[in-house]
Amino acid sequence: MPAIMQTLLPEHFFLDPFPEPRKIRPAMKKIENADNYVLTESGMVYSLTSKRAVRKHWSPRSGREWCRITNNNGQRVSVYLDQLSATTAAEPPTDDMLPIAGFPEYRITSYGAVWRVTDRRNRRPTPIRITSRGQHEYVQMIDESGKRRTVNVAKLLESATLAANE
């Protein structure tokens, strides 16, 4: 990466979540029957082989989050995240949510999960799917004028915490 880019971007953009390959930090919990995956305290599932977060899905019928992982036998299996952790994924962490400027229907948690708090159909908070492009994560949200926007999650979190501290 050019030196000019490194001076323009903050330091935390270049931190690797897995500094050493296949090392499990104390805050991570190994997933049973899937040695290549770990669960963090915040409920994110990470792959130790690809060093990336596993995409989470929301099931409106069951009201739970789930993801697909490959078990030790090489089979792709779907796993509910609330079965992996002690906390349930169906209820949003309302005390930890910060409002997002320009997006009145959405809130973000301190660990980067984006929730839509007012939904026309479900009338309950629902998590928004986070997509990865390279090393950055993005969400698609509808702004206050009704236009769909693709926004970087790290920038959303930074602006929301700055607004909350003021």
Q: What pLDDT does 120 receive?
A: 66
pLDDT bucket at 14, cuts 50 / 70 / 90: very low
**Which residues of the chain are in CATH 3.90.75.20 domains?**
1-90
* CATH classification (class only), 1-90: alpha beta
Per the CB < 8 A criterion, the answer to whether 116 and 98 are in contact is: no
Q: What pLDDT does 21 receive?
A: 45
* Least confident span in 6-10, 117-121, 158-162: 6-10
What ranges make up the beta strands (E) of the chain? 29-31, 34-39, 45-47, 52-53, 56-59, 64-70, 76-80, 98-100, 103-108, 114-116, 126-127, 131-133, 136-142, 148-152
Q: What is the mean pLDDT of residues 145-163?
A: 92
pTM over the 0.75 mark? no
pLDDT tens for each residue of 35-74: 888 887 777 888 888 878 888 888 777 778 889 998 888 8
Is pLDDT of 150 > 90?
yes
Q: What pLDDT does 115 receive?
A: 86
